[in-house]
């Protein structure tokens, strides 16, 4: 029976990803040898997201099991890394109804284990998407684009001309939020960290559709509030989106209007969410959390609904190509060590060089 050599990034204990990840290689059946219900997948692209890193560190509440059964041929209990990615169907067993070779799919659920060259799956665990959309969009739509969409639509009924403010404006979620808001006629203020090439970033985000981009220094200055009032022409900002915490969220929340909602979805600064007491008493601030994993687990139909909405945005050209670095791995040409090294380098680069996406050939 012919086989395909598959590789997966796994870990057997929690820790810093570059210390604990390694490659497990194993054989999968070739397309012509699949069982009736099996779908053989080749990974096309998988991002390295902050939540993937937190899972490996053992500090993320939803984690794949560290189990000897995670993959065939494991010598010690391991978990497979990666939650998000896009796959090409290489083969489908005779009982697989709606998938055929060449189709593209994304995982139906989190903890799939996407940092792999190939995998074997069941049809029920996969969502088919058009194989004509840009690869980078396909690889990142399930977590970041969907999160931006849900946060903008789920908490406050934002109408055309309304305003929202966010920190982490240069994050992938932030960039998606800017574009989705623009498409809906919603104004945005995006806070970014200062940097030597600030103008370049401001121009880039403005080209994506940002109404205004400000720095954390502006955000921290009480005087700057007046400029924002001029921009909004006195209209309240009714939604805040926070993925940073610390003093960034204090400044952001001061710019919100009466009865506004602050949605916290990340903690990139690793600092607590610090909010002025007066905002709760005098402005009736509502502070809530967002976690796409829980929201779509509680309401599974939401996952398919949001993917459908995001696909419409992608197909209509409302979302620009994802800003990221692509790291190519040619599975046939690399050793297990080189496979691991590519991921380690991607993880190192993700700290300082923006979003990293692994692509596989």
Ligand X SMILES: NC(=O)c1ccc[n+]([C@@H]2O[C@H](COP(=O)([O-])OP(=O)(O)OC[C@H]3O[C@@H](n4cnc5c(N)ncnc54)[C@H](OP(=O)(O)O)[C@@H]3O)[C@@H](O)[C@H]2O)c1
Chain positions contacting ligand X, by CB under 6 A: 49-51, 143-144, 147, 168, 170-173, 192-193, 243-244, 265-266, 268-269, 290-292, 355
To ligand X, the closest distance from the beta carbon of 257 in angstroms equals 24
> What residues does 127 pair with on adjacent strands?
106
For the bound state, the minimum distance from the C-beta of residue 99 to ligand X, rounded and expressed in Å, comes to 27
Q: In terms of CB distance, is 149 or 265 closer to ligand X? A: 265
Minimum CB separation from ligand X for residue 140, in Å? 8
Shortest Å distance, C-beta 228 to ligand X = 20
- Alpha-carbon distance 180 to 75, whole Å? 46
Q: Which position among 60, 112, 149, 265 bears the catalytic label?
A: 60
Tokens (6 digits) for 78: 């391991």
d(CA 134, CA 320): 10
Q: Which is nearer to ligand X, 243 or 329 (CB)?
A: 243
Q: Are 82 and 112 in contact (CB under 8 A)?
A: yes
Please, where are the H alpha helices in 92-191? Answer: 135-140, 146-154, 172-183
CA 225 from centre of chain: 31
Q: Which residue has the tokens 């779509």?
A: 296
Instruction: List the structure tokens of 343.
Output: 């991921």
Report the alpha-carbon distance of residue 32 to residue 101 in Å, rounded.
Answer: 11
DSSP string covering 172-228: HHHHHHHHHHHHTT-EEEEEE---TTHHHHHHHHHHHT-SEEEEHHHHH-TTHHHHH
What stretch of H or E contains 261? Answer: strand 261-264
Tokens 């600092």 -> residue: 271
Report which residue's Cβ sits closest to ligand X: 266
- Is 265 catalytic? The answer is no
The distance of closest approach from Cβ of residue 250 to ligand X in the complex, given in angstroms and rounded to an integer, is 13
Rank residues 16 and 361 by Cβ distance to ligand X and give the closer one: 16
CA distance 316 to 307: 14
Min CB(338)–ligand X separation in Å: 24
**Minimum CB distance to ligand X smaller for 51 or for 153:** 51
CA distances from 210 to 162, 165, 171, 189, 339 (A): 13, 10, 13, 7, 38
CA distances from 287 to 114, 241, 294, 322 (A): 33, 10, 17, 30
Find the shortest distance in angstroms from Cβ 46 to ligand X.
Answer: 13
Active site residues: 60
């Amino acid at each position: 029976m012919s086989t395909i050599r598959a590789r997966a990034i796994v870990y057997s204990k929690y820790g810093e990803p570059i210390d604990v990840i390694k490659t497990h290689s194993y054989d999968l059946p070739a397309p012509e040898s699949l069982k009736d219900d099996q779908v053989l997948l080749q990974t096309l692209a998988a991002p390295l997201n902050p939540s993937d890193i937190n899972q490996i560190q053992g500090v993320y509440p939803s984690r794949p099991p560290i189990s000897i059964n995670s993959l065939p041929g494991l010598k010690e209990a391991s978990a497979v890394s990666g939650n998000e990615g896009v796959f090409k169907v290489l083969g489908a067993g005779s009982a697989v109804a709606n998938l055929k070779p060449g189709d593209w799919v994304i995982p139906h659920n989190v903890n799939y284990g996407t940092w792999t060259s190939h995998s074997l799956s069941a049809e029920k665990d996969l969502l088919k998407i058009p194989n004509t959309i840009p690869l980078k969009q396909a690889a990142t739509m399930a977590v970041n684009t969907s999160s931006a969409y849900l946060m903008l639509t789920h908490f406050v009924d934002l109408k055309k001309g309304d305003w929202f403010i966010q920190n982490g404006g240069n994050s992938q979620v932030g960039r998606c939020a800017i574009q989705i808001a623009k498409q809906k006629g919603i104004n945005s203020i995006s806070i970014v960290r200062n940097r030597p090439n600030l103008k370049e970033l401001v121009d880039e985000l403005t080209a994506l559709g940002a109404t205004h981009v400000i720095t954390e220094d502006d955000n921290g200055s009480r005087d700057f509030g007046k400029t924002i009032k001029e921009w909004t022409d006195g209209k309240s900002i009714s939604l805040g989106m926070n993925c940073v915490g610390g003093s960034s969220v204090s400044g952001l929340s001061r710019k919100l209007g009466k009865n506004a909602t602050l949605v916290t979805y990340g903690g990139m600064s690793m600092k607590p969410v610090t909010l002025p007491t007066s905002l709760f008493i005098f402005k009736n601030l509502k502070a809530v959390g967002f976690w796409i994993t829980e929201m779509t687990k509680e309401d599974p139909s939401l996952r398919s609904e949001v993917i459908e909405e995001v696909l419409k945005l992608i197909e209509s050209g409302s979302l620009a190509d994802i800003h990221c670095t692509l790291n190519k791995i040619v599975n046939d040409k690399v050793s297990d060590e080189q496979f691991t090294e590519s991921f380690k380098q991607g993880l190192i680069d993700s700290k300082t060089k923006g979003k990293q996406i692994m692509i596989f050939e």
